[in-house]
Each structure stands twice: as C-alpha cells, then as structure tokens.
C-alpha cells in the first residue's frame, strides 16, 4: 500500500506507533529501502557491533519522524535483523507518511530527449 493507506508494518499501539522493521547493517548509507516481506526495510551504514546499528536505527527513526531520541524504543529484536520499535507521539499513518515517499515523488520524470546520430 502507499503512505496514504494502511501499511502492514505500522500499527497504533499503547503509547505510540509500533513499527515492524527489517534492518540491513553495513550498508553504503543509511536510508529507507522500501517494504520487504511485510516490514519496512531500513539500510544502516553502522556495523552490527556493540549495539551501534541499534543506536543508529533509533537515532535515524527519531530524526525522520521528528521526535526526540528518548521517544523511540526498541521492543524486540535487539540481536536480529527483524526488529519491533515503538515511537511515542506518532501515529501509524503519520509514521508511514514520513518514512515512505509519496507515490508522485518516486515516479520517473520525463525521458531525456534522444540524441540524433551524427552524420
């Protein structure tokens, strides 16, 4: 579904939105990589060593959702790639809208003009 409709990886829970995530550490950069297997996939540049990837994930989500770092809590998946996170002060639909780009923003633009062959 789109950011405008319900998504399988975000639901409203007690105290805020609960997000089901699939995390890929040691990526070339930190970003949202779309949906994968009913979860939101997030690529993190941080390595999965000494909790660095978890800290980077929570900081990234706080910045992306416009909340304080203390409002983001890891509920499950501390040592795995599949994680459950609660974000206080945010609704599931608000989180989906903030984390997934609007369909218009991802649509390809017009094709570049074709070059004529040189004669």
52 lies in some domain = yes
pTM (two decimals): 0.76
Range of the domain at 93: 10-101
3-state secondary structure of 61: helix
Per-residue three-class SS string for 64-117: HHCCCHHHEEEEECCCCCEEEEEECCCCHHHHHHHHCCCHHHHCCCCCCCCCCC
Number of domains within the chain? 1
Report the pLDDT value the prediction gives residue 84, as an integer from 0 to 100: 92
Q: pLDDT for 33-49, tens place per residue?
A: 888 888 889 988 888 88
Q: What angle do CA 67, 45, 50 make, to 5 degrees?
A: 85
Q: What is the CATH number of the domain that holds 34?
A: 3.30.1200.10
């Amino acid at each position: 579904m789109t950011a405008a409709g319900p998504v399988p990886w975000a639901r409203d829970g007690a105290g805020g939105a609960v997000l089901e995530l699939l995390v890929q550490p040691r990526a070339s950069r930190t970003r949202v990589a779309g949906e994968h297997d009913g979860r939101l996939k997030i690529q993190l540049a941080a390595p999965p060593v000494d909790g660095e990837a978890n800290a980077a994930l929570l900081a990234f989500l706080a910045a992306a959702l416009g909340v304080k770092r203390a409002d983001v809590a890891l509920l499950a998946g501390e040592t795995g790639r599949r994680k459950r996170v609660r974000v206080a002060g945010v609704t599931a639909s608000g989180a989906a809208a903030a984390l997934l780009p609007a369909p218009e923003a991802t649509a390809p633009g017009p094709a570049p003009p074709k070059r004529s062959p040189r004669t």
